[in-house]
Structure formats: structure tokens, C-alpha cells
Structure 1
Amino acid sequence: MNVNRLIYAGFWFGKTDKQDALKLARRGVGGFCIYGGTREAVKELVRDLRENSPLSHLFICADYEDGLGRWIGGEPWVLSNLAVGASASAEIAYQKGLTLAREARSVGVDWVFAPVLDLCDEPKNPIVNTRSFGADPHLVARLGAALCKGLSDGGVLNSIKHFPGHGRTAQDSHLGLPVLHRTLKDLQENELVPFAHALPAADSVMIGHLLIPSLDEQNPASLSHNIITGILKEKMNFGGLVFTDALCMKAIGDEKQASLKALQAGAHILLAAEDSVALSDFLEKNLPSDEIIAASEKLQDALVQKLTPAPKEGLSPQAFNARYAPDCAVWTGENVRLERGRTAAYLELGNNESFAAQDFLNTLKTAGIRLVKAGEKADVLLAVSFSNYKAFKGHINLSPEEQTVLETAAKQYKPSVFISFGSPFGAEKISALTAKLFLFSPAREAQMCAVQILLGEQQAHGKIPVQL
């Protein structure tokens, strides 16, 4: 037995020393979780780590929930879960799973930490939002299970997260410890519904860093025996592998002591510590029980055997997005149609992540729409938001200042259309807007689809999956 197999080290391009990573690979850590890089750099790293590992199979994991584009610059995004939720289609969710699997395998990743099964029922939640399928637990359950199957059929492992449900919190657990004031009955009727439904299709469960005082007054879920063993394993009969969420997050304090607590609580894998070499040294001197190590190794060995040797091939991200974007788009308000040759005032809001709006703008220009700055004379206002989640940012949605700017502009132009390629929240109280168009994703094809809808060349078939 090797205690290092309980460690899945994080590798952050531009931050992690590769020699440290190779040292950990040689020690026999069970896997790595990759953040950032380029397509070629990830492939090279994966090859080197596996060549240095004594294991018959070293797992490579990543948070490719929306494709490689979330972590690798220049790579395509896949339509978000909230977009899929707007379609309410299990088939689209399944196809997304196949597409994510195809993308992951193309760079050597065989474990995708998806899908997010948290509910999108708290507008101020800074880290769930478009990662969720929606506010309805039964919708999230149905689509989450379908995406799990798509990942599995596509040849990669999945991990449902963040148990027991991170949606109804307003703090980013990368920055602090969120508190969820829900009883077990509340959870069973809401947050736990998607997990219960998806567990038969789940290869693993990731436990969230959040405190639920009604279940455990002292320990976050990721360190709680009551929650991991008492609820997930005993009440919900899950016998599979359990991950902590990333240990480098600020919600759990000292990661060495937290690691021991997590293992004693029932977790099998310690994910992405700030210093995995130091954690390895610590665990070798403070060995968990043989029973804990053996249970983790047995579950990992079983999952190696589960990897599909001949996976089903999914659509490319571009093909997936182009095919399904209209089904995932939502139009609310009055009917507004752009006419070729008209002038549109353009206002961009909430672009904290510097998502490129170029595909949207170029498609408008190609259609013969003349663009001017908001405030200048125009036939219509197009107010575009790219507000989206980002770890360690701590906020989402339009700021009060941006809402004021949007309201002022909407009063100046008739008609005025708010177009969101990210969070659906932030403009719901601005009554001066004529219409709203939600794509829920910055993907190139989503931006192009938005223009087609504005021109009347395409219909938005989705329904809003959250409460606005």
C-alpha cells in the first residue's frame, strides 16, 4: 500500500514547479488535476507524468465542465450547463457529455470533474450560476444523470459535485467558508435530489467546502463524518469514490490537518493541495489507517478498469454549439428584429474576464449592421453582458454602477435589447428594456446564434431555467 495514491496533486501552469510534479509522480500519487497551459503543453505534461509514475495507470483530471476553453486560451468553449438547462433536453445534456469527453481525451485527460449538480437558486452565488442546469432540482437531476452517461460513453470518468449542494450560498468557497442554513429535510427535498438521481451513473462524488450547521456545527461538508459517511454513504448508499474539493481553497484552513480529517470522515482522495509535496511528506509521517488506504486503492483500481477502450465519439465543440445553441437560447419581452443596414448602439457590460465579443460584433457587421457607441444616434440599443463566474473573484452579475448605466441607456433607446452571454441575473429590475436574449455562454457559436435570432433568421427555443 502507498499513502501517496490518496493524493491527486494540482498542477498550475505558470506556478507549479514541474520537477515537484515529477517527484510526486515517482512517489506514486494517484493522479493530477491540470489547470491552464496550452493544448500541446498539457499533452507533453501528461506524457511526462505518466512516464515517471510507477502506477499501471496514472489518472489525469481537469475541470473541463465547459470544454478546454475554460482553462486553455484559444480553445473552444462548450455551451454551459445553464444553456443546456434552458433546453430541458436530456439528449443535449448527453451529447455535451460526449463532446466534453472527446475534448478531454484529446489532451490526455481521462477524468472530468463534471457535472455540477448544485442548484442555481441564489442569484448572488458567485461560483455556481451558469455551471448549474437550473433552479429546479428535478430538471438538474435528469440532465445531470444524462451528462454523466455521456462522459462515461465518451471514455472518461465523471465526478458529480459539490455534495450536498452549493447553490444556495452567496460566498465563494475559494475565498472563505460558505454557510448553508438548510435542514436535512430541506436538503432531501431540494439540493440532494439531483445527487440521489445521478449516483447510479456517478464514478465519483466531490464534496463541497461548505458548513451546514444543522448537520455538523463544526466541520465543513468536506471534513464531516456526519455528511460524507452518515448521509452520502449510509443514507444514500453510495459505495464509490469520494473526492474532497480542492484543498488549496481558503474555506478549510490548514490543509495537512484538514486532509487527515477528510480521510477520517470518509473521503478517499485529497485533491489539489497548495503544496502537495509537503502533504506527501506529512502523510508519510502521519499515516492514515491501512483500512483507509486500502479502500481508496481498491476503488481507484476498479475505476481504471471502467475506462472505455473504444469510446463513443462526440461532436466537436463547434458542431455541438452550432447545432444546439438555438435550443438553448431564451428570448423574453417584446418582439424586436434587426434589419440589415440599420444602426445599432453597442454597450458592453460585466466583461470582467475579458471574453472576446469579436464574434458577435463581426457577425453583426457582416449582416450589414452599423455599430456606434452607446449615446450616439441609433435605431436600437444592443447591451451585451459577459458577466460570468471565476474562482477567487467573489462576485458575479452586473454591479450597481453597471445596472445604472444600462438603465440610463435603455431609457434613451427604443427598442433596447439586453443580451447575456453569461449570468442571467443583474438586469431583471430594469423595466426600460424592450427585450432580453439569454445565451448563457461566451462560445463563438452562441454569439453568432444571438445575431441570427436578432435578425429573425433563427428562433430561440429555450425557456429560462431560473427564477428572475
Structure 2
Amino acid sequence: MNINRLIYPGFWFGKTPEQDALEMARRGAGGFCIYGGTRREVQDFIQKIRAASPLPQVFICADYEDGLGRWMAAEEWVLSNLAVGADGREDTAYQKGLTLAREARAVGVDWVFAPVLDLCDEPQNPIVNTRSFGAHPQAVGTLGAALCRGLRDGGVLNSIKHFPGHGRTTQDSHLGLPLLARTPQQLTQTELVPFCTALPGADSVMVGHLLFPALDEKYPASLSRAVITDLLKKRLGFQGLVFTDALCMKALGDEKQAALAALHAGAHILLAAEDSVALSDFLQKQALPLSVAAESVRLQETLGARLSGHPVTGLSAADFNQTYAPHCAVYEGEKLPLRPGLRAAYLELGNEEDFVAQPFLNALQAAGVHIVPAGEKAEVLLAVSFSNYKAFKGHINLSAAEQAALSRAAQKYAHTVWISFGSPFGTENIRELSARLWLFSPARAAQTCAADMLLGRQTAQGKLPF
């Protein structure tokens, strides 16, 4: 038994030494999870890994929940799950799955760690937010199951996450261990509902670094036999592959001991350790649960055979966004159609990741709207927020200072519209707003759609999914 088949190293372009990845490939690592890079860099890396590996198949995985854009600066984002939740139709979720599969296959990725089935029921959650389909458990499960079908039909493998539910926390598990004080009954009625609905179509389940004392007082879910074996496998009957969440996250402490505990708990794949070579050396000296290891290899081979079919071709990211953005947008408040010659003041907030608002501004200016900086004389204030989730960031939504700045700016204008291309939360207590427009995504088509709606050319057709 080659224990390295149970290790899926992470590879961060520009950070991880390539020789470490090639060493793990030579040792027979079952797969790799990639982060960042360009299309060409990803394709070249995959070619090198597969050439170095003794295995007939090496899985290449990625967190392409919102397409390539989250990880590749020059690429398009795909509309978020929360946008799909605002639309609410299964076919939209299915089509997103096909699009994500098309995007992944284009660069050589054959396993997409999606969809997120956590609930969007805690506005201060810094890492779920737009990754969720919404706050309603059954709707989240139904849409998640549809996206799983889209990924599978599109020719890639899927993974539902973060079992048993990451929604009700205000802490990012990349930075620490969230504790969720949920009773077994609450879990059954809320967090577990989406997973139960989507499990029949799930190729794999990713278990979160979350402490649920009601299930296991000592171990996080990702290291807990009570969660992985007793709950997921036995009670819920899941017979597929079980991933840990990334072992390099700061929720677990010593990743070698965490990895060993995860295998004894019933996990099949150890994902993205900070030092996979050292982990490999360590595990080869340990007493391991051979039944779990054998089960892992068998499941990997079974899933690999599934990739040999003929995939359904989905829409490109740009075409998917263009088609569905109006159905995913939500508008509340005064109807304030902009017109040629109107002066609109522009205020940008919550943009810590250098999102570019040019598609939105260009569309307004092309229609004859004069954009001026906030503070100058204008008929309306357009307050645009790009606040979005990001691993290891630890916060989301507008800061108290940004909310205060927005409130002060809004007082100077007769009308103020808040347009969100990210988190939908953070302005609930700002009374000066005349209207709110939610797109839930920074995608170019979402931005041009927002402009068209403000110009009265399109109508927002979605409903808030929380």
C-alpha cells in the first residue's frame, strides 16, 4: 500500500517549490490541489506532474467555485452561488455546474471542490457569504444537488463542503478553530439538510475544521470518528470519498498528528498539507488503518473511471453570466432610472482586493451619464461595494468606518443607491439609502447588468435568498 496515494499536496504558484511537488508526484501522490497561476502555468504544471508520477492517473483539483476568476487575475468570475440562490431555479444551478466544468477542463483540472452547502445564516461569517446558495436549508440542498449534476455531466468530479456545516460561525477556519454550539436536533433540522439532499449525487465530501461539541467534544469534524464514520458514513449512508479540508489551515495545530487522526477517523484523502513531503515521511512510520487506505484507493480508481465519458458542454463563463445575471439580481427601494446628461457621484467601498469597476462605469458613461467623485455636486450617489470573502482575511462586509463614511456621503445627496458586487450585508442600519441593488458577484456581466438596471433597460428578477 502506497500511503502517498492518500496525500493530495497543495501547490501555490509563486510560493510552493516545484521540486517538492515533483518529489510528491514521484512518490505517487494521488492528486494535487492547485491555487493561482495562469492558464499556461497550470497546464505546464499538470504536464510535469503527470510525467513524473508512476500512477496511471493523478487527479488535479481546484477550488473553482466561481470559475477561474477567483484564482487567475485575467480570467472571468462565474456568478456566485448566492446569485444562483437569488434566482432560485435548479436549471440555473445545473448550468453553472456545466460552466464550471468547462472552465476546469480547459486548463486540465478534473476535480472541482464545489458546491459549498453551508448556510448563509450568519451575516458576519467571513468565509461563507456569497459562496452559499442562501439561508434556507432545503433550497440550498436542491440547488447544490443540481450544481453537482452539472459538474458531473460536464466531465469533472465534485465535492460538497464543508460538512457538517460552516455557516453559523463568525470565525474563518483558515485562521482558527470555529466552535459551533448547535444541538444534534438543530443540526438535523438545518445544517445537515443540504448535505442529505445532495449526498446521492456527490462524488466526495469535504469535512470542515469545525468543532461541534454536541457531536465530539474533543476533535474537530475533520478529525472526528463520530462525525466522519458514525454520522456521515453510517447514519447518512455516504459511501463515497471523504476529504479533509486543507491541512495547512490554522484551525488544527500540528498537521502531522492531525493527518494521522483524520485517517483513523475515516477520512480518505489528506488535502493540502503545509509540508507534504514531511507528512509523507511521517506517515510511512506510523500504524495506519489499512482498511481506510484500501477503501481510498478503490474509490479513487472508481471515480477516475467516471472521467472517461463524453461530457456535456456548458456555456462559457461570459455567456453564462450574460444569460443569468438579470435573473440573479435583486433590487429594493426607489426606482431611480439614470438618464443621459445626469451627474452621478461615485463612491467605492470594501475593495481590498483591487477589483476593477470599469465595466460598470464604462456602461454608464457610454449611456451619457456623467460620473464624478463623491463629494461633488450630483443628482444621485452611487455607492459601490466589492466586499468579498477571501481565505485568511478574517473579515467581510463594510467596516464600521466605511459604513460611517457611506452614511455621511449619503446625507449630501437627494438619492443614494447602494450597489453590491459582493457581500449583501453591511448596510442594514444605514437609513439614508434610497435603494439597494444586489448582484452578489464582481463578474463583468454582473457589473454591466447593474448599469443596465440603473438605466432602466433591464429589471432585476431575483429575490433575496436569506
Q: Which bracket does the TM-score occupy, shorter chain normalised?
A: over 0.9
Secondary structure of the 1:301 match is helix
Partner of 1:289: 289
Aligned-pair CA distance for 1:124: 0.4
Aligned-pair CA distance for 1:292: 2.1
Query: Across the two proteins, how many residue pairs are aligned to each other?
Result: 466
Write the letter of the residue equivalent to 1:218: K
Aligned-pair CA distance for 1:295: 1.0
What is the alpha-carbon distance in structure 2 between the residues aligned to residue 221 and residue 145 of structure 1?
22
The correspondence of residues 219-298 of structure 1 with structure 2, limited to 5 A, is: 219-298=219-298
Partner of 1:145: 145
Partner of 2:453: 453
TM-score, normalisation: structure 2: 0.99
Write the letter of the residue equivalent to 1:301: E
Question: Is the Cα–Cα contact under 8 Å of residues 115 and 160 in structure 1 kept in the other structure?
Answer: yes
Aligned-pair CA distance for 1:309: 2.4
What is the alpha-carbon distance in structure 2 between the residues aligned to residue 49 and residue 91 of structure 1?
36
What is the alpha-carbon distance in structure 2 between the residues aligned to residue 144 and residue 340 of structure 1?
42
Partner of 1:421: 421
Structure 2: 5+ residue stretches without partners: none
Partner of 2:332: 332
Write the letter of the residue equivalent to 2:411: K
Tell me the alpha carbon deviations over residues 230-264 of structure 1, each in whole angstroms, 9 at most, x when there is no partner: 11011100011000000000001100000010000
| CA spacing shift, 1:19–1:11, aligned 2, 3 Å | same
Write the letter of the residue equivalent to 1:129: N
Write the letter of the residue equivalent to 2:42: V
Question: Is the Cα–Cα contact under 8 Å of residues 8 and 270 in structure 1 kept in the other structure?
Answer: yes
Question: Is the Cα–Cα contact under 8 Å of residues 154 and 311 in structure 2 kept in the other structure?
Answer: yes
1:379 matched to 2:343? The reply is no
What is the alpha-carbon distance in structure 2 between the residues aligned to residue 230 and residue 210 of structure 1?
16
What is the alpha-carbon distance in structure 1 between the residues aligned to residue 364 and residue 406 of structure 2?
21
Question: Is the Cα–Cα contact under 8 Å of residues 337 and 455 in structure 2 kept in the other structure?
Answer: yes
The correspondence of residues 41-56 of structure 1 with structure 2, limited to 5 A, is: 41-56=41-56
Write the letter of the residue equivalent to 2:403: Q
Aligned-pair CA distance for 1:411: 1.6
Partner of 2:319: 319
The correspondence of residues 291-440 of structure 1 with structure 2, limited to 5 A, is: 291-440=291-440
Tell me the alpha carbon deviations over residues 150-185 of structure 1, each in whole angstroms, 9 at most, x when there is no partner: 000000000000000000000000000001110111
Write the letter of the residue equivalent to 1:56: P
What is the alpha-carbon distance in structure 1 between the residues aligned to residue 204 and residue 223 of structure 2?
17
What is the alpha-carbon distance in structure 2 between the residues aligned to residue 129 and residue 290 of structure 1?
38
Aligned-pair CA distance for 1:308: 4.4
Question: Is the Cα–Cα contact under 8 Å of residues 325 and 446 in structure 1 kept in the other structure?
Answer: yes
The correspondence of residues 99-138 of structure 1 with structure 2, limited to 5 A, is: 99-138=99-138
Write the letter of the residue equivalent to 1:54: P
Partner of 1:71: 71
Aligned-pair CA distance for 1:393: 0.5
Partner of 2:95: 95
Among all aligned residue pairs of Structure 1 and Structure 2, give the percentage whose two residues are the same amino acid. 68
Structure 1: 5+ residue stretches without partners: none
1:191 matched to 2:164? The reply is no
Write the letter of the residue equivalent to 2:38: T
TM-score, normalisation: structure 1: 0.99
Write the letter of the residue equivalent to 1:4: N
Aligned-pair CA distance for 1:47: 0.8
What is the alpha-carbon distance in structure 1 between the residues aligned to residue 448 and residue 276 of structure 2?
43
Question: Is the Cα–Cα contact under 8 Å of residues 3 and 287 in structure 1 kept in the other structure?
Answer: no
Aligned-pair CA distance for 1:289: 2.9
Secondary structure of the 1:161 match is strand
Write the letter of the residue equivalent to 1:405: A
Aligned-pair CA distance for 1:445: 0.3
Write the letter of the residue equivalent to 1:277: V
Partner of 2:17: 17
Aligned-pair CA distance for 1:290: 2.2
